[in-house]
């Protein structure tokens, strides 16, 4: 039997330490820990990696502190369009949705697309209609809105009018959530969910719902969920590139991850990060920004979470 493993992230667009008050930071850490507990509970009772990543991401989607589901970024028209994907490393089955506006948990819908639609990707109104048809929770678009996102949209519009959009912080621009898991049977899975970036054009789709760009899992190799400027991840097919460097090039997870971020993608000059784990449960969580909300469970069953460079131990989960 394999020792199960889980890693998750809440996006590389982390606020500066001084940007949030103590209560907000405590709440963010609680939700990050709750997501880790939810995913690891599935693995601890012998459940599949696919269930674990879905459970972890649902908690992050329901939290107002991350850019996915409730708390997602706003498009330039003041509405939300949400993207998500999920992939099963055992058989390469995958499902994804993009530009959905009414489905409470896009990651649940992505899994339903994988298992019940005969498709890999459904978009917009058709995806929301499918969600309603199969009984997933639908909510008004305003359900996803938080005061912080309204403020961020106003700030970015003001910066754009002054020609200073390039000075916007990673936290103002974008964020994503995701998870990767290895279960006791040795199967891998990954899932990603996002609201995109603040003030994005209506209809824009990034890497999160694109299999091989923002999400990828293959048994015996790795599972990965990415965060950052999606256009870069799509052009470089980053998630699959990591797996290919391992599968065909013989690189370790750590070496493949380092080469991607520090060499191939270094010239892009954008914020990025990911969580990934290999078939032995080894975890990497690199990022090149001020911070990336993240967490994982180590080989001794201890949970770890952090946002900036330091990590905190939650003890045995």
d(Cα 248, Cα 218) in Å, to the nearest integer? 13
The catalytic residues are 176
Please report the pLDDT score of residue 163 as a whole number: 62
What are the pLDDT tens digits along the chain (317 aa)? Answer: 789 999 999 999 888 888 889 999 999 999 999 999 999 999 999 999 999 999 999 999 999 999 999 999 999 999 999 999 999 999 999 999 999 999 999 999 999 999 999 999 999 999 999 999 999 999 999 999 999 889 888 888 887 777 655 545 555 555 899 999 999 999 999 999 999 999 999 999 999 999 999 999 999 999 999 999 999 999 999 999 999 999 999 999 999 999 999 999 999 989 999 999 999 999 999 999 999 999 999 888 999 999 999 999 999 98
Q: How far is CA 215 from the centre of its chain?
A: 8
**CA-based nearest residue to 195, from 64, 56, 30, 285:** 64
With helix as H, strand as E and coil as C, how does 82-129 read? Answer: EEEEEEECCCCEEEEEEEECCECCHHHHHHHHHHHCCCCEEEHHHHHH
Please report the pLDDT score of residue 135 as a whole number: 98
Q: pLDDT tens digit string along 72-83?
A: 999 999 999 999
Query: C-alpha angle with apex 16: 172 to 146, nearest 5 degrees?
Result: 45
**Mean pLDDT of the residues in the chain:** 94
Q: Strand pairing of 121-123 and 93-100? A: parallel
Pick the CATH number of 5-316 from 3.60.20.30, 3.10.20.70, 3.65.10.10, 3.20.20.70: 3.60.20.30
Give the neighbor-by-neighbor strand order of the sheet with 294-297.
121-123, 93-100, 82-88, 188-194, 177-182, 5-9, 294-297, 302-306, 312-316
Q: Strand pairing of 5-9 and 272-278? A: unpaired
Domain boundaries, the chain: 5-316
Residue 218 is given by DSSP the state E
Q: pLDDT tens digit string along 121-155?
A: 999 999 999 999 999 999 999 999 999 889 888 88
d(Cα 175, Cα 272) in Å, to the nearest integer? 10
**CA-based nearest residue to 226, from 245, 247, 243, 207:** 207
């Amino acid at each position: 039997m394999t020792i199960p493993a889980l890693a998750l992230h809440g996006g590389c667009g982390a606020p500066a330490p001084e940007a949030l008050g103590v209560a907000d930071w405590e709440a963010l850490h609680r939700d990050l820990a709750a997501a880790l507990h939810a995913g690891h509970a599935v693995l601890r009772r012998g459940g599949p990696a696919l269930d674990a990543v879905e459970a972890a991401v649902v908690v992050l989607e329901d939290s107002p502190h991350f850019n996915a589901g409730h708390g997602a970024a706003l498009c330039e028209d003041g509405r939300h369009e949400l993207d998500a994907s999920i992939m099963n490393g055992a058989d390469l089955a995958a499902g994804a949705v993009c530009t959905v506006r009414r489905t409470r948990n896009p990651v649940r819908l992505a899994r339903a697309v994988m298992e019940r639609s005969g498709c890999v990707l459904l978009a917009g109104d058709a995806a929301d209609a499918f969600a309603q048809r199969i009984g997933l929770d639908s909510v008004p678009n305003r359900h996803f809105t938080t005061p912080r996102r309204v403020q961020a949209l106003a700030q970015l519009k003001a910066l754009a009018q002054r020609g200073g959009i390039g000075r916007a912080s990673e936290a103002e621009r974008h964020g994503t959530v995701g998870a990767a898991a290895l279960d006791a049977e040795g199967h891998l899975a990954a899932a990603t969910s996002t609201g995109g970036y603040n003030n994005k054009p209506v209809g824009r789709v990034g890497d999160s719902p694109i299999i091989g760009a923002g999400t990828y899992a293959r048994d015996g190799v790795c599972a990965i969920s990415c965060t950052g400027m999606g256009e870069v991840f799509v052009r470089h097919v980053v998630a699959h590139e990591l797996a290919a460097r391992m599968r065909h090039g013989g690189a370790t997870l750590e070496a493949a991850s380092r080469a991607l971020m520090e060499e191939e993608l270094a010239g892009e000059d954008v914020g990025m990060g990911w969580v990934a784990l290999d078939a032995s449960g080894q975890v990497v969580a690199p990022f090149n920004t001020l911070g990336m909300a993240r967490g994982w469970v180590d080989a001794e069953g201890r949970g770890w979470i952090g946002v900036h460079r330091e990590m905190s131990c939650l003890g045995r989960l």
